């Protein structure tokens, strides 16, 4: 399963204006809900926030990868935000984030969730690919970049 299979056009937001990590997480869950795969938005928001409170998902290089597993989703689903202004995310490198990719998975499919999380991390760690996403001018352009990289995997 590739990234383009779990990331829908309506679940991508460019130039998102926010300066609060937790309201950003709630916005991302609401974006992911546009896929129709989330059964209980409040449950999912709480799971994502609880996971973030355990340890920041700010992985460095301006990237955050918030994620959670819950029975409140039907299947793996994602959302992506390119922020208008970088925000503090308590990242491991101490730098603010610009790109935030949310991954949600079903409790019963841990293996797939971990594979997707690893794939997303590896892809976004590529400076050239990450810059393509940050400089994209539309949701369609972002999806095209993910489709191209999915084909290369």
- Between the alpha carbon of residue 113 and those of residues 5, 60, 71, 142, the distances in Å are 13, 21, 13, 21
Give me the residue spans of the domains in the chain: 3-152
Question: What is the distance between the alpha carbons of residues 145 and 142, in angstroms, rounded to a whole number?
Answer: 5
Structurally, at CATH architecture level, domain 3-152 sits in 3-Layer(aba) Sandwich (3.40)
Q: What is the DSSP annotation of 38-74?
A: BS-HHHHHHHHHHHHHHS--EEETTEE--EEE-TTBS
User: Token pair for residue 91?
Assistant: 């990242």
Q: What is the pLDDT of residue 2?
A: 83
Q: What span, in angstroms and rounded, lies between the C-alpha atoms of 47 and 62?
A: 23
Residue 37 has pLDDT above 90, yes or no: yes
| pLDDT surpasses 80 at 107 | yes
What tens digit of pLDDT does each residue of 111-152 get?
Answer: 888 899 999 999 999 999 999 999 999 999 999 999 988 776
Q: What is the pLDDT of residue 150?
A: 77
Active-site residue set: 67
What is the rounded average pLDDT of the residues 5-12? 94
Both tokens assigned to 29: 């869950």
- Which residues, in sequence order, are bridge partners of residue 87? 97
The predicted pLDDT at position 111 comes to 84
* Structure-token match 């590896």, residue found: 122
Mean pLDDT value across residues 15-40: 95
Residue 1 has pLDDT above 70, yes or no: no
| 141 CB neighbour count, 10 Å cutoff | 14
Pick the more confident residue, 12 or 110.
12
Query: What's the pLDDT tens digit per position in 44-91?
Result: 999 999 999 999 999 999 999 999 999 999 999 999 999 999 999 999
Q: Copy the structure tokens of residue 14.
A: 């460019």
User: For residue 133, what are its two tokens?
Assistant: 């996403």
113 with 105: CB under 8 angstroms?
yes
Calculate mean pLDDT across residues 29-47: 96
């Amino acid at each position: 399963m590739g990234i383009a299979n779990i990331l829908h056009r309506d679940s991508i937001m460019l130039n998102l204006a926010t300066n609060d990590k937790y309201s950003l997480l709630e916005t991302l869950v609401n974006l992911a809900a546009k896929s129709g795969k989330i059964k209980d938005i409040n449950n999912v928001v709480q799971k994502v926030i609880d996971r973030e409170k355990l340890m920041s998902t700010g992985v460095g290089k301006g990237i955050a990868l918030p994620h959670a597993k819950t029975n409140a989703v039907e299947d793996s689903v994602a959302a992506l935000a390119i922020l208008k202004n970088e925000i503090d995310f308590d990242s491991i490198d101490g730098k603010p984030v610009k790109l935030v990719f949310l991954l949600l998975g079903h409790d019963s499919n841990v293996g797939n969730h971990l594979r997707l999380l690893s794939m997303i991390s590896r892809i976004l760690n590529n400076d050239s690919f990450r810059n393509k996403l940050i400089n994209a001018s539309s949701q369609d352009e972002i999806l095209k970049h993910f489709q191209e990289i999915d084909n290369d995997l």
